[in-house]
């Protein structure tokens, strides 16, 4: 089943006095580009995360945001007793001299009285667990969106298959119809001229051969069938689908330029519209 290249995942894991949060966002890109945002982490663990993400996501513009929420249950708080005493004495003096009423809560709220312990070291194991959780969520979103894209692609490529069948049926009328038209036209132009009938038929056959689109229809149908087969693959097929749709577009362009039936020309326009819609969707497939 195909996967979309866009997705989002978030996971949190509690550590020692902190909660590690990881968010991973992915957008479509021809290559894999991984960027880290938020707090700085150990280069060794950063490389390990890159390896894990690369193995999971293959392609895309990936942004990994890592931050820490310090827990407020008192386990990682520190009380600066000396600073409290100093400020408390100053407050007592102010209250005595100026009649100001400064409460204990005002003192405690002063900077550096009660502070959080610095958490400089992240638990690598818990960080990797959070990364794994975020990746799992992101992949679920990619797969869900991929199913929707798969349904739309299958619907559009089947419409193209139907149109190619109609074009094939129409093109089978070309030799008989055009042979008669060309022969009559040449005769009307050369009524007063003696011409070689064999030579005339050779020229008519040559003109008809130039307008024959049988091979292009066969190749276009092969591309369509291969495209449908790729939609069933479990492995990444985005690049292969992109190549196939380019080749299909090339064959359809040739059909349009060679065909001498107005009905075929109109159907070629419809097919090219479907191809363009498919091309837009394929760009977002892993």
Statement: residue 207 has pLDDT above 90: no
pLDDT, average across residues 219-225: 95
pLDDT at 274: 96
pLDDT, average across residues 194-202: 57
Least confident among 24-38, 114-128, 218-232: 114-128
Query: Which pLDDT tens digit goes with each residue over 151-178?
Result: 999 999 999 999 999 998 887 765 555 5
Angle between helices 124-171 and 214-230 (to 10 degrees): 150
Least confident among 41-55, 62-76, 154-168, 262-276: 62-76
Statement: residue 78 has pLDDT above 90: no
pLDDT at 100: 66
Q: How far apart are alpha carbons 74 and 165 in whole angstroms?
A: 74
φ/ψ of residue 68, rounded to 5: -125, 130
pLDDT at 137: 97
Residue 58 confidence class, pLDDT cut points 50, 70, 90: confident
- Write out the two tokens for 4: 């979309």
pLDDT at 116: 54
Statement: residue 46 has pLDDT above 80: yes
pLDDT at 209: 53
CATH classification of 7-70+123-141 is 1.10.10.10, yes or no?
no
Statement: residue 85 has pLDDT above 90: no
Q: Rounded mean pLDDT of the chain?
A: 82
Q: Where are the domains of the chain?
A: 7-70+123-141, 77-116, 144-282
User: With pLDDT > 90 as the criterion, what percentage of the chain qualifies?
Assistant: 49
User: With pLDDT > 70 as the criterion, what percentage of the chain qualifies?
Assistant: 74
Provide the β-strand partners of residue 8.
25
pLDDT, average across residues 107-135: 74
The residue ranges of DSSP E strands in the chain, in sequence order, are: 7-14, 18-27, 32-38, 60-70, 77-79, 114-116
Number of Cβ within a 10 Å radius of residue 12: 16
């Amino acid at each position: 089943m195909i996967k979309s290249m866009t997705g989002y995942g978030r996971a949190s894991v509690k550590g020692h006095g902190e909660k590690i949060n990881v968010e991973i966002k992915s957008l479509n890109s021809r290559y894999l580009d991984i960027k880290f945002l938020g707090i700085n982490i150990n280069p060794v663990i950063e490389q390990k995360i890159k390896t894990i993400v690369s193995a999971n996501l293959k392609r895309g513009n990936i942004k990994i945001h890592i931050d820490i929420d310090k827990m407020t249950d008192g386990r990682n708080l520190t009380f600066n007793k000396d600073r409290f005493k100093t400020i408390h004495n100053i407050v007592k003096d102010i209250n005595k001299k100026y009649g100001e009423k400064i409460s204990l809560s005002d003192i405690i709220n002063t900077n550096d009285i009660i502070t959080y312990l610095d958490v400089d070291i992240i638990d690598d194991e818990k960080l990797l667990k959070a990364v794994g959780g975020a990746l799992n969520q992101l992949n679920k979103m990619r797969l869900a969106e991929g199913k929707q894209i798969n349904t739309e692609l299958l619907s559009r490529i089947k419409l193209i298959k139907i149109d190619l069948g109609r074009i094939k049926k129409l093109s089978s009328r070309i030799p008989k119809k055009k042979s008669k038209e060309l022969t009559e036209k040449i005769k009307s132009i050369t009524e007063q001229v003696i011409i070689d009938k064999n030579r005339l038929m050779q020229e008519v056959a040559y003109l008809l051969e130039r307008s024959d689109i049988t091979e292009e229809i066969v190749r276009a149908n092969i591309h369509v069938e291969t495209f449908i087969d790729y939609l069933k693959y479990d492995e990444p097929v985005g690049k292969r689908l992109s190549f196939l749709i380019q080749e299909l577009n090339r064959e359809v362009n040739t059909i349009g330029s060679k065909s001498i039936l107005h009905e075929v020309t109109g159907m070629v326009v419809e097919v090219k519209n479907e191809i363009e819609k498919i091309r837009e969707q394929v760009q977002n497939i892993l």
